[in-house]
Amino acid sequence: MELFYQTIMFFLGASIASFVNAWAMRLGGEESIMNPSRCRACDTPLKFNQLFPVLSWLKQRGHCGCKKQQKISIRYFLTEVLLGIIFLVLFTNMQIFSDKTEFIFYLVFLSIALHLFLTDMEYQQLYLPMMLTGIGVGLGYGFYLDQLVLHFYGALLGFILLFVTNWLFQFFRKKQGLGDGDKFLLAMMGAWFGPLLVLQGVVLSSWIAIIFMAFLYLKNKTIPTKIAYGPFIILSSIFIQLNQLFIIF
């Protein structure tokens, strides 16, 4: 029975990742998420058996099931597998901790974070209604933990920190250094996990961004003038929080 529930949790995570992937892609193309899934090469509607997360990608060997057999990016497969594994790990450990409500909060957070990660990475666009929803639910999580004031200060610190940083950059360099959505994103992380994670996240995300830029320079011998900072904030925040939960390091 335990294996059954673990399998359900894995495919729940994979299904949410599949949905979020589709939503992020359609948001970038200004297309409604309510439209049926279709092949991007020939507009053929996808059949039900072509929409199973993880399994359909494997069965079709990374290609669309229509006649054109268009290649599907491995990103979709990896995202589904990764979120499925994270859901499974959280389910197993939260059962040990016996806190199913907190487990549900974490699932909501990861789903929102994945959506923001994909839209910013792909289109350099952070969806403000999603971030405001994330801030609201994060404060609700703080209320559940009886730490609402601490989480409110976390959201406030996250917003102010990047707002002031960007203002100073604009004042001295006469141009914007950060995207408009980054301050709301860091505010969301603070709303979920408090002021300490905000400070740790800024430091770690900056180092990840520096390493990423160094990699791009070594690979292409040039540094892009603009990159999305949101994915680094999300990755660093998730890593820090998982490390606190499971003591990875």
pLDDT in tens, 53-91: 777 767 777 667 666 666 777 778 888 888 888 888 888
What is the DSSP code string of 64-76? -SSTT-PBPPHHH
pLDDT in tens, 119-136: 888 888 888 999 999 999
User: Which residue in the block uniquely carries the two structure tokens 């549900």?
Assistant: 104
Q: Determine phi and psi for 39, rounding to 5 degrees.
A: -70, 135
Mark which of 37, 72, 98 sits at the end of a domain. Answer: 98
Asked if 112 and 91 sit in the same domain, the reply is no
List Cβ neighbours of 157 (8 Å cut-off, separation of 6 or more).
190, 195, 198, 199
Range of the domain at 68: 1-98
Asked if 45 and 119 sit in the same domain, the reply is no
Are residues 72 and 57 in contact, defined by beta-carbon separation less than 8 angstroms?
yes
Asked if 73 and 22 sit in the same domain, the reply is yes
Q: Which two tokens stand for residue 186?
A: 């860091």
Asked if 249 and 186 sit in the same domain, the reply is yes
Rank 1-5, 67-71, 141-145, 207-211 by mean pLDDT and report only the highest: 141-145
Asked if 118 and 174 sit in the same domain, the reply is yes
User: Which residue in the block uniquely carries the two structure tokens 């969806």?
Assistant: 127
d(CA 122, CA 117): 8
Buried b (16+ CB within 10 A) or exposed e, 108-143: bbbbbbbbbbbbbbbeebbbeebbeebbebbbbbbe
On the question of pLDDT at 45 being above 70, the answer is no
